[in-house]
Structure 1
Amino acid sequence: MAFFLEVLLGGLLAGTMYSLVAIGFVLIYKASGVFNFAQGATVLFAALTFVSLLERGLPFWLSLLVTLAAMVALALAIERVLLRPLVNRSQITLFMATLGLAYVIEGGAQFIWGTKVHGLDLGISDAPMELAGLLLSPFDLFAAGVAAVLVVVLSLLFGKTRLGLSLRAVADDPLAAQAVGIRLPVIWAVVWAVAGFVALVAGLLWGARLGVQFSLSLVVLKALPVLIIGGFSSISGAIVGGLIVGASEKLAEIYLGPVLGSGLENWFPYVLALLFLLVRPAGLFGERSIDRV
């Protein structure tokens, strides 16, 4: 029983790492209805910028502030150059635009900082420690705490403030929101900037776990089943979806792996996501579309 709890809790904690990436998708989707495929590239850009500044002698906190400023500037540039000219275009057009944007950001990061693989040490041990008789990773506990704080802050920001009210209005009907005086470019710019901050947090944690390298942008693929399960429009859904994916892949690897073969955790979340698409396409917390005739 203790081993089962260790695997389960380890999977739940690891799932928060997926949730951090998924939250960035949710923010953009809630504000503009755009599935931002470039979120993985922004995670890479943030981690690469931070570690490169750190290696050039800047103090930790100064590197963090400079990277945050760079992410906000990148977000504002994306909104002004890409999103604003494509307003009212089809979703497939916007998706293809963000797909191209992902390669532009990756190429820009390579041009600025080079292609060297970097190690990133945040000073948090990943060695298992015993807690209440269970072996858990301090790094995973820290990531879970960061995810919890982010969810609370973002929920308060978008649920209890005027900005949040404007965001919900824009998400429901952009044209109606614009008609009552809500400035869409301002809302989009703020949301993209917040998504840039989330990408920075995710980039630091994933960079510390996997190393800062260009394959880091592929973490976006692991966020897809999280979004499908939790729902594309819910921050809470991103967390719950991440927990489900993290726990299910670890349990499947341990208990089904000997029967179905190794590497099960790499594809099991996608099977689970397919089942959700068949049963509940909007996800657990997603808003179901209603078509009236």
Structure 2
Amino acid sequence: MSSTDLLDACVLVGDSITQTTQNDTLYQHLSEYFERRLDVVNRGHGGFNTEWTIPVLKRALTPKVKADQGHGQKIRVMTLWLGTNDAALPPAATHVPVDQYKANLHEIISLVKSPDSPYYSPETKIILLTPPPVIAEVWRKGVADWAILSGLMSPEEMVAERDHDPKVMAGYAKACLEVGQEAGLDAINVHAGIIEAAGGDSPAKLLPYFSDGIHMTGKGYDVVFTLFKELIERKYPKLTPANMVMGIIDFSLLGKGDIEALIAENQEKYHAQWTA
């Protein structure tokens, strides 16, 4: 199937915070937001850090030589929401030192934005999202309870393997913002946005935004989606639903002529909008 037969895409790259697809997640919000205009593709991988994401993306992205031949979907928007697992405290297997975390983000960005990359996609808008705050005591209790329930290891061992610290997480959020500035890309400060919405960073204030101290509730995702939408409307108005042609024609127009011709005409308008 050629790219002219497909909707273009919004690709979400991240960890379990991106991967989860139940109601009121970022994936659900964006699927509704870009409905019939961009396919929202979830490339969130639970437990992954930036180091492990790089080889996965090299297999998931369409090489430019194939894209130029009409294979695969053009990516109009890509979100990079990584850092929570990188920020896990040593000896966690997912821990990545903050300087290496920044270097890895730059490498992921260069896969898409460097003209020398086999995956070069100049039309893709990359948006970074910082890791959120963490409620350490809530997270640790949940991890310890899971250790007891699963019997995989002692609570102390499992907490040590998955531990987080609020100040460390804030440092990774800052590093993510620095990468955005260095690369000339937009970055959404999820960390600060959640704290601002909560009215402070105390556990009691943050609790309604998190299900387990790290993963967010619908209330947390609502904050993230609002920040995303505000950025799109401010910086990329052509990517707002109101300004995009539907990739699949509205049913109300199908009774006004030959269906095949109407669908083909709509497809032409859809793909022409990107060069207008």
Choose between structure 1 and 2 for higher RCO, CA contacts under 8 A separated by at least 6 residues. Answer: 1
Larger helix percent: 1
User: Normalization by structure 1: what TM-score?
Assistant: 0.28
Rg comparison, structure with higher value: 2
User: Normalization by structure 2: what TM-score?
Assistant: 0.29
Larger strand percent: 2
